[in-house]
Chains A and B, each alone.
Chain A
């Protein structure tokens, strides 16, 4: 009795929070259920030439034409048209293989403070997740994790490197 009361309040509070920052609210609130860590930490790499097994990261990358990563402007987390195309390809794959679950890893560049970047990475991963949910993918199939600025892929200290590091990477959970 009390509990259901709280749930209603939690839903209302969650919706209010989200309403302030994104127009595309996910269907269910609050929090993403997070399965215990089974995912490999890496989201980078390119598919090999051969025929990969469906449901693997290599197969996913092959099928979406390498569009497993979306990129963001400094301190931003909006989904632009290039991101939309990538996420639509990802959504199509997830519809085709309904048993596949994914982790979206949110990252930031090194030119930010550590804790803010952790929050920013989470916001980016969640923006990508919300978009996939908006395309009809069940949110129970999508886990998010932020690595802030802790896991760069481009190692320089240049605008070009930072642009590559401001990213959200979709990784198939095996």
Chain B
């Protein structure tokens, strides 16, 4: 009991003597509930099935050149569906389009989409006419079907074939509510990607970020979320007060972020299901830089006490605040290793921002960045093998290093790129780019090769992207 209080909990006792702050609000409408995606068995094809990962290519360049035909998904009967005003046939085309855009926009394979291909009949989904596709020069064929049930729910089947070998490579099926048809399309894209590269999936996931509007000296900053491809965009806050630095909980049920809604920078946890939020720490000190532990049980954050910022953690369900750092410099931000045992964070205790690692209880703090310049905003890869960060030496560049501080690689080179966040599989990094002069911001992403860099489509300017894990 006393031991637990020794290093920790001091601030909590101070907090308890203060009146609870009135909870100001800047929240929009609660989001509609979701039904999720159920996996269902689908009818097998007439083609022989490939055994094992025949098509996993280890050299990235080989699969990058793979030509994949993605015709519109077929439907057994064109009928009305709440998912598409023109019926299930049009929906099948839209599904093919989502998959095609996923692969094309991320520089994966050489996909050919529904608009450039003949329509596949429903019967052909399980019995492809291989000669058509080999004549077109396609090495792989991704096709499928969509079927509306009496309850409006959709069954979507996804089949991947090797055209040259005339073999089925993979198939899966899902049942979704009509409003969630895109999730099945993302799962189909994930199936193709995983099966052909041997990597973990990433398309069926979401991004939280800060939507920005207005002039440089009066920016409106709103918390917003969207699917990994930018669809289903929703604002969470109304923009009356500045919102910053969101993070999805590992199960997507909550969002941590910073808000000035009561006039001070403080971190809140927003409950997606109820559309309400609460202060993470009932305390009059400014709290910033909220992060989840990988199991969602702890919230790590930074707090300034008498001007000095240190890193703390608190159980997500509430409980004593535990202090993790006590250096006289600024200790801020941070990111847990995927196993939850270590934390990488930034500190200016050496005189400038640099990156440090410590055990999850705050012990064994040691600097790992020695690259010249400043090093900030470290984010541990979900694979555990890399740390992405902002390297500041002239330009602000997105870079990676291994957790021992070696193997520095720069992935971008622009005037100001900052705040990297990892795709669920650790192959792609998103960040935000600020334009010199205007101060305009945009979300960007780059893959680990550094070759595929692109701006993400957002309705307005964007900053502070936070990519969540694969959806549950």
The yes or no answer to A123 lying at the interface (CB within 8 A) is yes
Task: Indicate if the CB atoms of B22 and A115 lie closer than 8 Å.
Answer: no
Contacts A32-B284, A115-B289 given; does A14 touch B305 at CB 8 Å: yes
Q: Provide the bound-state CA to CA distance between A156 and B13, in Å.
A: 45
Across the interface, do B219 and A150 meet the contact criterion of CB distance under 8 Å? yes
Given contacts A14-B305, A119-B288, 14 further A-B contacts (CB under 8 A): A20-B327, A20-B328, A21-B329, A31-B14, A36-B262, A114-B418, A116-B348, A118-B289, A127-B307, A145-B286, A146-B265, A146-B286, A146-B304, A150-B242
Whole-angstrom distance between the Cβ of B104 and the nearest chain A Cβ:
32
Residue B255 at the chain A interface, CB threshold 8 Å: no
The reply to whether B288 and A118 form a contact with Cβ atoms under 8 Å apart is yes
Is the CB of B234 closer than 8 A to any CB of chain A?
no
Q: List 24 A-B contacts (CB under 8 A).
A: A3-B17, A6-B10, A13-B10, A17-B310, A20-B328, A22-B307, A30-B285, A31-B14, A31-B284, A31-B306, A33-B284, A37-B263, A113-B377, A113-B419, A115-B288, A116-B333, A116-B346, A118-B289, A119-B330, A123-B308, A144-B307, A145-B263, A156-B437, A157-B439
Q: Is the interface of B mostly helix, strand, loop or mixed?
A: mixed
Segment 438-472 of B: residues with Cβ below 8 Å from A:
439, 463-464
State whether B306 touches A29 (Cβ < 8 A): yes
Residue of A nearest to B346 (CB): A116
Report how far A113 CA is from B11 CA in the complex, Å. Answer: 27
Q: What string of 1s and 0s marks CB contacts (under 8 Å) between A129-156 and chain B?
A: 1100000000000001110101111011
For the complex, is A9 an interface residue (Cβ under 8 Å from B)? yes
Interface residues on B, range: 35 or more
Quote the shortest CB–CB distance from A29 to chain B (angstroms).
Answer: 6
Q: A7 an interface residue at 8 Å Cβ cutoff? A: yes
Contact between A30 and B264, CB atoms less than 8 A apart: no
Nearest chain A CB to B403 CB, angstrom units:
20
Task: Please tell me if the beta carbons of B306 and A3 are within 8 angstroms of each other in the complex.
Answer: no
Q: Which 3 A-B pairs have the closest CB atoms?
A: A37-B263, A126-B307, A20-B328
Check B348–A75 contact: CB distance below 8 A.
yes
Chain A CB within 8 A of B5 CB: yes
A113 touches B376 (CB 8 A): yes
In chain A, what residue has the closest Cβ to B375? A113
A39 touches B263 (CB 8 A): yes
Contacts of A110 in B (CB 8 A): 416, 434, 439
Q: Which residues of A contact B (CB under 8 A)?
A: 3, 6-7, 9-10, 13-14, 16-22, 26, 29-34, 36-39, 41, 75, 110-111, 113-116, 118-120, 122-123, 125-127, 129-130, 144-146, 148, 150-153, 155-157
Give bound CA distance, A34 to B326, whole Å: 23
Give bound CA distance, A7 to B376, whole Å. 34
Asked if B306 and A26 sit within 8 Å, CB to CB, the answer is: yes
A75 vs B304: C-alpha distance in the bound complex, in angstroms? 16
Cα A115 to Cα B21 with chains together (Å): 23
Instruction: Encode B324-347 as 1/0 by CB contact (under 8 A) with A.
Output: 001111101100000000000010
Contact of A119 among B22, B245, B304 (CB under 8 A): B304
Q: Nearest-CB distance from B196 to chain A (Å)?
A: 37
Residues of chain B lying within 8 A (CB to CB) of residue A144? 307
Is B79 located at the chain interface by the 8 A CB criterion?
Answer: no
Q: Is the CB of B10 within 8 A of A116?
A: no
Complex: A115 Cα to B463 Cα, angstroms? 13
Q: B11 to A10, Cβ gap below 8 A? A: yes
Contact of A118 with B434 in the complex, beta carbons under 8 Å: no
Would you call A6 and B307 a contact (CB within 8 A)?
no
Query: Which of B14, B217, B310 meets A152, CB within 8 Å?
Result: B217
- B305 and A155: CB pair below 8 A? no
Which among A10, A123, A125 is the interface contact of B14 at CB below 8 angstroms? A10
Q: How far is the CA of A29 from the CA of B10 in the complex (A)?
A: 12
Cβ–Cβ contact A18 & B306, under 8 A: yes
Is the pair B284, A34 in contact by a Cβ cutoff of 8 Å? yes
A116/B332 contact (C-beta < 8 A), A21-B308, A31-B306, A122-B309 known: yes
| B333 & A115 in contact (Cβ 8 Å cutoff) | yes
**Residues on B with beta carbons closer than 8 Å to the beta carbon of A146:** 265, 286, 304
Among A16, A30, A120, the most chain B Cβ lie within 10 Å of the Cβ of A30
Contact of A123 with B10 at beta-carbon distance under 8 Å, contacts A155-B217, A157-B437 already known: no
Known: A14-B305, A123-B308. A114 touches B328 (CB 8 A): no
Cβ of A156: which chain B residues have Cβ within 8 Å of it?
437
Given the interface contacts A31-B284, A122-B286, A145-B263, does A114 sit within 8 Å of B437 by beta carbon? Answer: no
0/1 string, B299-333, CB within 8 A of A gives 1: 00010111111100000000000000011111011
Within 8 A of A (CB), among B95-139: none
Give Cα distance in the complex from A9 to B10, angstroms. Answer: 7
Contacts of A18 in B (CB 8 A): 306-308, 328
What residues of B have a CB within 8 angstroms of the CB of A122 in the complex? 286, 304, 307, 309
Chain A nearest Cβ from B419, distance in angstroms: 7
CB of B15 to closest CB in A, whole Å: 9
